[in-house]
Structures are given as structure tokens and as C-alpha cells.
A and B are shown apart, each in its own frame.
Chain A
Amino acid sequence: MATETLTTASSPRPTRNPRRRPGRRQLVGLLFVAPALLLVVAFFVIPLGMTAWMSLHNWPLLGKSSFIGLGNYEALLADGRFWSAMRFTLYYTVVVTVVIFAVAFPLALFVERQRPLAGFYRTIYFLPVVVGFGSASLLWAWLMNVDAGLFGPALQQLGLTEKRINILSSFDATFWSVIAMVVWKTSGFTMIILMTGLQGIPTDLREAARIDGASRPQLFTRITLPLMRRTIALALILSVAGSMLAFDQFYIIAQGGPRNTTLTAVYWIFNSSFVSFRMGYGAALSMVLLVILLAISVVQLRILRTHEGI
């Protein structure tokens, strides 16, 4: 919305000769966005259409497919394991997002200001972000190994636990270790986003507030937070969408264990498609996940919308 108004306003003759050169500007515009559009069509719209089409079929990985209408959707309504995976995914998303923000916000406040070694700190906190999720998971899978790893033996040798604890054998230990790993890996990214938001707040506003006698907490809740609304919305949506699609960490570190308690929705989709070889059913699950994710994003946008839009 905001950008649209801006471009029309800044163009020299916005609507002066609408009939003389019909669509020329639009044509040029279209040419400019064509590559992006092409990419979106080729890599999003077409695969999405195919997924939707597949979801209406009994589509085994090997062999012939047959049309079954909404059969897959009916089956997934009764699929207890999918819904429990969905519940776990939501739980994980809420927890991990809260923890990421709780870590990333203080970090952002810390590195935003000019201080000695600010660049150094920013780099250090951001560094784990450039590690791929797969490799980070492998690294932590090793750290969490009861025999060859670090955590179990270290806790024992420090005398904190009587015997070596097998982290991966209990849900809580596995879950919080994965949370720790994800926070280590992604909070740097959220920190950078929040930092740019902080830097976007005009200093005169803060100074004016301070002159008016605002305390530090007041400054934070009345000036900083409201002005960071959009940045927070962006970071939140990215974090929630990323967490709802969590797969690698639970697949590599825990294989959905202990006892299938850390199966995420995407893990279940992967299972249906590539372990059970039911591609059509996996496609139907993906469509449902897409709709849920879309709904969550819309709600978030609604809640965080400022009056001039996002």
C-alpha cells in the first residue's frame, strides 16, 4: 500500500494521458517483473498446482496413480499421528519463538549501540546462522551422544549427574536440547533483523522523550516497542513460519524419538511420502499444512498491523 502510493505520487504524469499510450508503462513494468514472475510461476505456482493435483490421487512413489477425489483428505482427518505431530509442531513453534525473542532482543539491544568491539560481537552472534541446519543438527547429534558426545560425559565428570544421562532417551531433555540448538543457530538472524529496526528509530524521538522525563522502561515500552512493530512482525512471521516447517533437527538428532514424541508435521509428511511411499497422501498433508500456516500468518499480520499497513 505505502509503496504504491509513493510510486504513483512521484511519477511525473500519473494519469494524464490514459488513452494515448495504453499500457506502455505497464508493459515496461511487466517486463521488469517478468523474470521474478517467471521464477514464481515455475518454482511455486506450478509445483503448488501439481501438489494440489497429486493430493486428489492415490499416488504411490512406484507404479500407477489413480484419482480418488477427496479420499486423502478424508483419511487425514482420522490420522491421529498427523494431528499429534501437528500439536507437537505448534507447541514447539510457540516455545522456540518465545525463547528466540527472549535471547535475540537483548542481544540486539546490546550490539545496536556503538561500543568497542560491536562489530566483533555482531559477527560472533551471527556466525551460527551461516551453518546449514543439516550440519548444525549433525554437530549437535554428536554433542548429545551419550557415549562419544560432550554433554552427557561432561555433566558426569563435573559431578553434576551421578551417571551419564542419555539425553535422547527422555522427551524433555531431547526437546530442550533441540530448542537450545535452534536458538544457538537462529537467534543471530533475528538479532540482526531487530537491530535494523532499532537503528531505524530516530534518535530525536528518544531524546525528546528523555527530556520529557521518560524513564528507561517507559522509553522502551512507549517509544522503542511501538516503533519496532513492523520489524517485530517480520521477525515473528519468519520465526513462526520456519518453526512450523521444522524437520531437519528432529530427523537428524532424534529421529522423531524418544518414541515418536518429537515428530513434526513435516516429518510426518516426509514419512508418508518417502517411507510409506504414499506421495498423494503426503501431498494432501502438505496442502493442509499450507492452509494452517497461511491462517497463522494472516492472524499475525492482523494483530501486528499498524494503521498505515505493513
Chain B
Amino acid sequence: MKLARNILAVSLAGLVLGTSLPVFAQTTLTMWSRQGSALPALVEAFNAGHETKVDLQLVPSDQMVQKYATSAAGGSAPDIIGLDLIYTPAFAAAGQLEDLSSFAKGLTYYDQLSKAHIEAGGYDGKTYGLPLLAEGSVLLWNKKLFEQAGLAPDAPLTNWAEIEAAAAKVDALGGDINGFYFAGACGGCNAFTFLPLVWASGGDIFAEGGKKATLDTPQMHDAINFYRTMVEKGYVPDGAETDNGSNWLSTFAAGNIGISQSGAFSIGTLTKEYPDVDFGITFIPGKDGNRSSFGGGDNFAVSAGHADKLPAIQEFVDFLYSVEGQTILASGGSLPTRADVAAEALKDQDPRYAIAAEAMSIGRTPSTPVYNDLINSPTGPWAQMLTEAFFGEDPDGAIATAQETMQSIIDNYGK
């Protein structure tokens, strides 16, 4: 009894405090995000100049979903969640997010925001996520090796035949030097770098709003053959077959790889940590030209039931998309997500960021609530198909099997 009374007293005191606080204190927004340096810098700058404060907590990427699920179930979800944009449909489908459609349309610069993010942040015709951090996939080449191989070091490659020919020449330098590199056992990495090859050639892996898997297309067969040929001819180091993404960039950074693919993040990493590697950046081309990119990064969303914080969130969002906000993010390695201020935000950055930013602006993102299952999971159909198709005996069989598995996962979703 006594204990119960004490608890009652404490919680009453809390209630009084809780209700009286906003009268003389500013609103504090709680926010979760993946790790990285761009967002903390933005939040720090925001907090320094505003009455409203953002309390940012960084959560390791692979724990985000579990941690958020537990908090949401216990009623302590953060006001704002910054999450890998591919998760937005899954969170929205589970009823965890506030519908931001009218909020988004109310932003005067709405039509300038990254299309890939908004596309991935949509579910059932409504907008649940808006761009926070951005990444675009690009093609990298090592200028020094190109020069040694007698290739023009400053001429960007524009189709697959050119890539293959250049890889052959660089590979012919011999020794530890290889022509091409990719992480062969990493589903997420290959969605980022391999999928644009298919897109730029006119193919896609989903149709009908993500309800139908369309892996078994001529464009997919072509793209796989393109990689397969380079593997067969020995342009790709053996380690690629089992690289789960941990050696993805470091292999290129070691300076022995002619061509690879990566994202804007690699510009910062390479220039800061590997200043000796002189690299060029260009768009990921299709089979006969054209270009595409995977628009990656993070969306922000508002937890369901936290709509009362929207005025304060508006304040933060306006700062996020301001020239100042976009510049801070750009210097932290995240590409601008608002097109009309992108050039201004990037003016003091390495010029190669501008190419990555342009790539992102044409970038696409597959939107499906089962993205994790289909694409990211190392045991999922996408990753399994690619490893088998690039290195195995039976690429056609691998594509057919993956097509079937993907469709059954999509069909079983929610059951």
C-alpha cells in the first residue's frame, strides 16, 4: 500500500512537472538516427540557434529496427526517426509512422526535394518519409593505373564495352593489379552499384508498385553476363566472390584496382585517408550509354501519434533544407537533398561531389516493405542470385530461382 502511494505521489509530481515544463522551457524533439558525422553537426548547429532543441541519439544501423520496435511497443518512440530510406515502406506499412503528406506539400520547396527519397518514403499513395541524408552510386576509376595502361586518365567511361576494355588494359599491367572490383557476396552493395547498370539499360527488378518481381529480364541477363565475363577473364580479384562488403572500398583504396563502383561517401574517405589514390568519378552507364544511380541515404519520419510536435519539427525541417543546413550536411559527406540549393551547398567541396549529387538527382530507389528480406539479407534471393550468377555454374538457373523466391516472399508478406 505504502509503496503504491509513493509511486502515485512520484508519478503525480512527474505529471505536474511534465505539464508545467513547456510553459517556461522550449520544446525538445527526440530524434534517432544511424551513425555518421553529418547529422550530429547539423543538430549541433540547429540547437545553437533555436529555442527548439533536438536531442539526437545515434543507433547502430543493424539494431535500428529492433530497438525502434521495442520502444514503439513501450510507448517511448522518438519524435523523429532517421532511417535507411529503404525501411520507410516497412515502417509505414506497420502503422508506425505519421502521414506527412499534407505537411510535405506545405513545404514551399517540396518539388525540389530528392525524388528517390520521396518515392521510397511513400506507401499506399501517402508520404511518410522525407529526405534527410543522401547518397548516390557512381563509377570510380584509378587515374594513375589508367595512365600506366595507356588509357586517357580524364575521359569518363560511358558504356559497358568501354568499361570492359579499360578493365582489360589495366588488368594487363599484371602483378597485384586487377581491372575491376565489386563485393560479390553483399546484396545491399550490389543493389547500390549493380542495379543501376540494369536501370540504365531499361530494366527494373520490380513492377506494379513492388507487387511483382521482374528479375528474369534480358537487361538482367546482360548485366550479369557483363560481370561474369570480367570474372571469367580474371579481371576481378578472387576475394570478390566472398566479400560481404567489408572490403568493398578498401580494395579500391589500396590502389591496385582499375575500376570500381561506390557512393559519394567514398570521396571523403579516399581524399582524407588515401590521398595517394588519384581517382575519377562518373555516372554508372547502361549497356549502350545512358546513366543511372541508386538514390540511397536516409529518410526522416515522424512516429505515429507525435503529430502535436509538427510545429517544432517544421522549424527543424526548414533549417535542414536551408542553404546553411545543406552546406553543413555536405561538409559531413552527405549530398544535398534539395536541388535548388545543391550548387550553393557544394561550392566549397571537392568538385567530384557535384557529379555524385547529379547522379543522386537521377537516382532511383526500389520501394518495397520486404526490402530487407529480398535485397539486404545475405541469405536472401538477391544476394544468392548474384553470387551464383557471377561466379557459379548456372547463371540462368540462379536468376529463375531468385525470381521465384522473390515473388513468393512478396506474396507472403503480411501473412
Please give the residue numbers on chain A whose beta carbons come within 8 Å of chain B beta carbons, in ascending order. Answer: 58, 60-64, 145-148, 163-164, 166, 168-169, 255-260, 263, 267, 271, 274-277
> Interface 1/0s, chain B 370-382, versus A by CB < 8 A?
1011001111100
B119 to chain A, nearest CB (A): 21
Per DSSP, are chain B's interface residues mostly helix, strand or loop, or mixed? helix
Give B260 Cβ to nearest chain A Cβ, in Å.
Answer: 15
Contacts of B388 in A (CB 8 A): 259
A258 touches B372 (CB 8 A): no
Contacts of A147 in B (CB 8 A): 237, 239, 247, 251
Taking CB atoms and an 8 Å cut-off, the chain B residues in 83-131 that contact chain A are 90-91, 93-96
- Given the known interface contacts A275-B373, A277-B372, the answer about A257 and B242 at a Cβ–Cβ threshold of 8 Å is yes
Chain A residues whose CB sits within 8 angstroms of the CB of B276 once the complex forms: none
Structural contact, A260 and B94, CB atoms closer than 8 A: no
Partner pick for B238 among A164, A259, A274, A275, CB 8 A cutoff: A164
- Supposing A62-B96, A147-B237 touch, asked if A277 and B90 sit within 8 A by C-beta, the answer is yes
**A residues within 8 A CB of B14?**
none
For residue A276, which residues in chain B have a CB less than 8 angstroms away from its CB? 370, 372-373, 377, 409
Which listed residue, B65, B387, B391, touches A277 by the CB 8 Å rule? B65
| CA of A307 to CA of B185, assembled, Å | 54
Complex Cα gap A257–B380 (Å):
11
Q: B354-389: which have CB < 8 Å to A?
A: 370, 372-373, 376-380, 384, 387-388
- Residues in chain B within 8 A of chain A (CB atoms): 65-66, 68-69, 72, 90-91, 93-96, 185, 237-239, 241-242, 244, 247, 251, 370, 372-373, 376-380, 384, 387-388, 391-392, 409, 414-415
Give the CA-CA distance A61 to B380 in the complex, in Å: 18
If A62-B72, A168-B241 are given as contacts, then 19 extra A-B residue pairs at C-beta distance below 8 Å, sorted by A number, are A58-B414, A58-B415, A60-B94, A60-B414, A145-B239, A147-B237, A163-B238, A164-B238, A166-B239, A169-B241, A169-B391, A255-B379, A256-B379, A257-B185, A257-B378, A258-B387, A267-B379, A271-B377, A277-B90
Instruction: Tally A-B pairs: CB < 8 A.
Output: 79
Are A166 and B384 in contact, with the CB atoms below 8 A?
Answer: no
B373 touches A61 (CB 8 A): no
Residue contact A62 to B185, C-beta cutoff 8 Å: no
- Chain B residues within an 8 Å CB radius of A146: 238-239, 242
| A61 engages B238 (CB within 8 Å) | no
Q: Is the CB of B95 within 8 A of A63?
A: yes
Q: A62-B96, A63-B96, A275-B372 are in contact. Are A258 and B69 (CB under 8 A)?
A: no
Contact pick for B90, options A62, A148, A256, CB 8 Å: A62
Residues of A within 8 A of B244 (CB): 255
Q: How far is B182's CA from A81's CA once the two chains are assembled, in angstroms?
A: 28
Bound together, the chains give a CA A60 to CA B372 distance in angstroms of 14
Q: Are B95 and A61 in contact (CB under 8 A)?
A: no
Chain B residues with Cβ below 8 Å from A274 are 65-66
A260 touching B239, Cβ below 8 Å: no
Complex contacts, A62 vs chain B, CB 8 Å = 65, 68-69, 72, 90-91, 94, 96
Instruction: Name B369's closest neighbour in chain A (CB-CB).
Output: A277
What would 14 A/B residue contacts be, using CB atoms closer than 8 Å?
A63-B96, A147-B251, A163-B238, A166-B241, A166-B242, A169-B238, A169-B241, A257-B242, A259-B388, A260-B379, A275-B372, A275-B377, A276-B373, A277-B90
Q: How many whole Å from A155's CB to the nearest CB in chain B?
A: 13
Q: Are B94 and A263 in contact (CB under 8 A)?
A: no
Per the bound structure, the CA–CA distance linking A62 and B392 in Å amounts to: 37
CB atoms of A166 and B387 under 8 A apart: no
Residues on B with beta carbons closer than 8 Å to the beta carbon of A260:
379, 384
Chain A min CB distance to B256 (Å): 11
Of A164, A169, A256, the most chain B CB neighbours within 10 A belong to A169
Q: A260-B384, A277-B90 are in contact. Are A61 and B378 (CB under 8 A)?
A: no
Contact, CB under 8 Å: B66 / A61: yes
Closest to B372 in A: A275
Closest to B387 in A: A259
A257 touches B96 (CB 8 A): no
Give the chain B neighbours of A164 by CB distance below 8 A.
Answer: 238
Bound Cα distance A246, B244 (Å): 21
Q: Please state if B247 and A275 are interface contacts (CB–CB under 8 Å).
A: no
CA gap between A60 and B379 in the complex, in Å: 20
Assembled-state Cα–Cα distance A146/B237 (Å): 10
Q: In the docked arrangement, what's the CA distance between A219 and B380, Å?
A: 54
- Inside 8 A of B68's CB, which chain A residues have their CB? 62
Give A196 Cβ to nearest chain B Cβ, in Å. Answer: 40
For B185, the chain A residues whose CB sits under 8 A away are 255, 257
| Nearest CB of chain A from residue B184's CB, rounded to whole Å | 9
